[in-house]
Structure 1
Amino acid sequence: MAILADMFGAGIDTSTVTVEWALAEILVHPHILQKAQDELEAIVGSTRLVRESDIPDLPYLTAIVKETMRLHPVLPLLVPHTTMQDCQVSGYDITRTTQAYVNVSAIGRDPTVWDDPLLFLPERFLASDIDVRGQHFELLPFGSGRRACPGLALGLSNVHLMLANLLNAFKWENLAEVDLSEKFGIVMSLANPLVAKATLKVPTHVIDGKDSA
């Protein structure tokens, strides 16, 4: 029970923080918001909620999620790792059982890997096959290999569906200047919570779960 509680707790916290980062960046860049909502209108429309089966047909939304996880990984150092045997990395001798941290925040902002790494540019992923599932070391929000996050599939599904439905069902308006300052910790969240106005733009019955499709 304790292990399952930890897994669900970690999945909920990290997913909501990721969605908040995505919304914050989108509100700072209105053209991104418009482009994402245009895509959702074309694929999903206003008569139903976004479903998991819609996600493969929403490449720009997927690019937004990838860019959010690159620039604002919620676990900037992942979980602690331990070396299983003596090894050498970049000329340094690393002994067995050494605790190691992978700084995915620094990797995601490395100018030798990414063009304009501090800019929020979802378009960089539209013509790229880089994924977040641990096969591309430029982007490792879930880690990789046997120590990758066991909730990867659940987390991706949660983030895509929550963000897609928030963007498709509501109009968004800033109530104050968006502060993108980071609160660094085990989970890296916004230093100040996002404050924005959401106005329903789909029929009420859609939100009630009585969609027509």
Structure 2
Amino acid sequence: MLSTIKKEKIIAILRNIPSDKVVDLVEAISLQGINVLEVSFMDEESFCQIEKIKKHFGSKMTIGAGTVLSVESAKKAMDIGSDFLFAPSSDRQVLDYCAKNSIKFIPGVFTPSDVSLCLSYGYKLLKLFPANVFPLNYIKSLKGPFPTTEYIAVGGVNGDNYNDFLSSGFVGVGIGSSLFPKELIAKGDWHAISKNIARYQI
């Protein structure tokens, strides 16, 4: 998973997207060269969206299930074919389940204690959340005592600052509504969405 993130840099985060628009949105995202998605688990509709995206795009896209907060959600996500799991936190039960089942899991961290817990389960690729509340050199401080760790910035990342995060040592960034504003999704203006995404040049 680390090699994929290092190559792709941007994870597009889909949250509360209408199901009848999700395939068109992912098509617009894909046309601009973004090939890694997180579909946040908010309700049963999210599971259906992952299945729909996987069916339509196959192996062309790497599809992760996000906001995985319980073992039950982790099981459901893997049952429907998610390529990886993403979480905003480092829940011990979820870490244990994923480690025992060799699941590609990117847990969320906020403190050195969170990082230490994730490492104890073998997870070194971590999501710093919310990334925008820290100075950009925060992960440099974390990598001092934890040199094997790598970080993805999520939370407050947008077109104005995403390169700052990448230049500061983050291997990737997760970006949501600033990539595809909800008003453009509501209009079905996929051309405008593609044009907006094109601003993000890696």
Q: TM-score, normalised by structure 1?
A: 0.22
Q: Which has the higher strand share?
A: 2
Larger RCO (CA within 8 A; separation ≥ 6) = 1
Largest Rg, 1 or 2: 1
